[in-house]
Structure 1
Amino acid sequence: MFRTLVLLAAAVALSLGASAQSANVLPDLDGDPVVLVVHGGAGTITRAAMTPETDAAIRASLAEALRAGHAVVMAGGDALDAVDAAITIMEDDPNFNAGRGGVFAADQTVRHDASIMDGATGLAGASSGTMHVRHPIRLARRVMDASPHVLLSGDGAEEFAMQQGLEMVPNTYFHTPSRLDGLLRVQERERSTTGLAVPSPDAWQMHGTVGAVALSAEGTLAAGTSTGGMTNKRWGRIGDAPIIGAGTFADGTVGISATGHGEFFIRLGVARDVAARMAYLGEDVDTAASTVIGTTLTEAGGTGGIIVLDAQGNASMPFNTEGMYRGAITRSGVVTTLIYGDEE
């Protein structure tokens, strides 16, 4: 029997000031396992800061991504293809910090990171710092499938993308007024408070990613993550999204995609830690995921969340911020989309 899908939010108060989140529980879904989970980033996401129009648009995009991945699974496609189908939709939506909606680096360019992992084979691919690849998740997939490497970066990654025939666009394709406004606000704060020094980033600068985890009809898992990274990033900074074991991980038991303050996710190996707790401690998906976010990440001072799906179709989506764009779809096509921390 399949257990009830529990969408867990971390039940621990943050020392950084965010309040604890309560569990989000769906009705009994025994016999109707989850086949795809997605996220669109975690952070200071509140009803007060959200217009009804934006709320509706984000939920619609999450639902579209879920249905696209679900269609792949129900047609007998593999989990990697389902992840690709879901993430490319979110990469084209400027409401998310990935693809078209990627945030600006300090030099007013948009640079992307992405990764994907196949739980059936243990193979993975990733790219970092690309500026012209329309769908970075597809580049990550090609790195896995068509190169002997796991992670390519910068100019080399783009050369490989062109060789592979991926769609390339001018960097201006990714430029949006709201993301530019965000960059200019950060840079004005820097000039007014620190002169030439580089201050620690505000929490909102560090959040924003999209991700998906899929379960195929054959019971195999795959996970992927894509992001524009950190607003005002410098010096080729790389976050957790393209780092296997930090922002993305999948094996035969579980798949994970992360979003949040990447430096913490890298140091803690957040995605791999969830899988390790399940493998070595025998924890179920809910316990492992909520412990890593609610205890390990929170006690280290990090913020963010993860989506997790196991091979039996049990899902968990814990986070320790005020909200996380997230959703799930079951085998029968039941769609759930959630944004705020107090939603059930």
Structure 2
Amino acid sequence: MTSSDNNFTLAIHGGAGTILRSKMTPEREAAYHAGLRRALEAGRSVLASDGTALDAVTAAVMALEDEPLFNAGRGAVYTSAGKQEMDAAVMDGRNRAAGAVAGLCGPRNPVLAARAVMEKTDHVFLIGASALEFCRDQGLAFEEPSYFFTEQRWNALQETLAMRQTGADDRDESRKHGTVGAVARDRKGNLAAATSTGGMTAKMPGRVGDSPVIGAGTWADNETCAVSGTGHGEIFIRYAAGHEIASLMRYARRSLEEAARTVVVDMLAPAGGSGGVIAVGQDGSFALPFNCAGMYRGVVTADGILRTAIYDEPLIDHKDR
């Protein structure tokens, strides 16, 4: 879908491999839609005030990190050792400036840590203890481990570990990959992307997925598109998913929709890369393809109508904001 030149576009996701329909209660489904709407509104308010795409995606991802339902920030999943290790990245399409962090637990909003790396250092990627020290030096808000704890994520870890011991087949994709992200085009035509995640439930300590890897789970370039991915991170990295979408647009002259769907459906899926992406093009168009049970997602443009969806269904208009 497209947007006119002077308008803005914001798309968000709260992870692919959603809770199975058979396990989703009406109350929980409503809560997910509400969380998505809050994030859309946070980004929309920036863009409607002629703010930058970078500020908009940062605001939207912060809202998703603060929402315990999603696997980022508060509500991040646990490693096999029972710890939380969070990753995040931001990228500015104006000049391909980027910042990323990995393996953190402490900063309230990992996306702000990634943005600080981009804006306050000469580097792109910081990890572990040194990244935490840098975040403290920058005065970022920190929280105790209890702030990030949710019973849902802890129980998911115990269930996954038990399944591994018994050799049971875990077909619940919501345990395997969950991420939050935002992509935007502002009124000046600039693009930006931001992605944040707790990773995969019961992942090996120290594992880093695609979310903070520039060109894989996060990408933005004004000449083509901005992309944020969610899915099986190892496959997204191996196929450079975000950059591949941009390359199909740049060199093969594919539309955003064609490029995004080609990568998600024709490249990632056959390789075992379950998941999806959200993408916004230089012209304000957007694409939200996924190849699994569903993807928590939403879009808002200059008409101000917040639109969200979870499963393979049309976006739902929320006109009563």
| TM-score where L is the length of structure 1 | 0.87
The size of the alignment, in residue pairs, is 314
How far 1:265 sits from its partner (Å)? 0.2
Shift in Å at residue 334 of structure 1? 1.7
Residue 32 of structure 1, CA deviation:
8.4
**1:46 Cα offset (Å):** 3.6
Q: Describe the superposition over 1:260-300 as per-residue Cα deviations: whole angstroms up to 9, x where unpaired.
A: 00000000000000000000001110000001011011121
CA distance in 2, matches of 1:93, 1:302: 26
Distance 1:56 1:101 in 2: 18
Alignment of 1:1-344 (within 5 A): 4-5=1-2, 33=7, 35-193=9-167, 203-252=173-222, 253-343=224-314
1:75-100 Cα deviation digits (max 9, x unpaired): 12111110111010110111100010
C-alpha contact 1:44 1:322 (8 A) present in aligned 2 = yes
CA RMSD after TM alignment? 1.8
Percentage identity across aligned positions?
A: 45
Distance 1:62 1:116 in 2: 19
Q: Distance in 1 between matches of 2:205 and 2:78?
A: 13
**Contact between 1:120 and 1:251, CA under 8 Å: does it hold in 2?**
yes
Q: Which amino acid aligns with 2:93?
A: G
Do 1:33 and 1:312's aligned partners in 2 also have CA atoms closer than 8 Å?
Answer: no
CA contact (8 A) 2:11 2:184 kept: yes
1:109 Cα offset (Å): 1.4
1:323 is displaced (CA, Å) by 0.6
Q: Measure the CA separation in 1 of the matches of 2:229 and 2:22.
A: 25
Q: d(CA) in 2 for partners of 1:238 and 1:180? A: 20
* Normalised TM-score (structure 2): 0.93
Task: Assess if the C-alpha contact under 8 Å between 1:45 and 1:340 holds in 2.
Answer: no
Contact 1:79 1:216 in 2 (8 A): yes
Gaps in structure 2 of 5+ consecutive residues: 316-321
Distance in 2 (alpha carbons) for counterparts of 1:145 and 1:53 = 40
- Report if aligned partners of 1:240, 1:262 keep a CA contact under 8 Å in 2: yes
For the 8 Å contact 2:80–2:205, the answer to whether it is kept is no
Q: Distance in 2 between matches of 1:59 and 1:217?
A: 26
How far is 1:218 from its partner?
A: 0.8
- Three-state SS of the structure 2 residue aligned to 1:99 is coil
Please tell me the residue identity of whatever aligns with 1:340: Y
How far is the alpha carbon of 1:127 from its aligned partner? 0.2
Deviation at 1:101, TM superposition (A): 1.0
Aligned AA for 1:43? G
CA distance in 1, matches of 2:197, 2:5: 34
* TM superposition shift of 1:339: 0.5
Conservation of the 8 A alpha-carbon contact between 1:34 and 1:314? no
Q: Which runs of 5+ in 1 are unaligned?
A: 6-28
Q: Is the 8 A contact 1:41 1:259 kept in 2?
A: yes
Deviation digits for residues 36-82 of structure 1 (CA, Å, limit 9, x no counterpart): 00000000444322111111111111111111111111212111110
Distance 1:32 1:55 in 2: 34
Contact 1:66 1:328 in 2 (8 A): yes
Cα distance, 1:335–1:34 mapped onto 2, change above 3 Å: farther
Moved over 6 A (4+): 29-32, 199-202
CA displacement 1:300-319 (0-9 Å, x = unmatched): 12100000001211000000
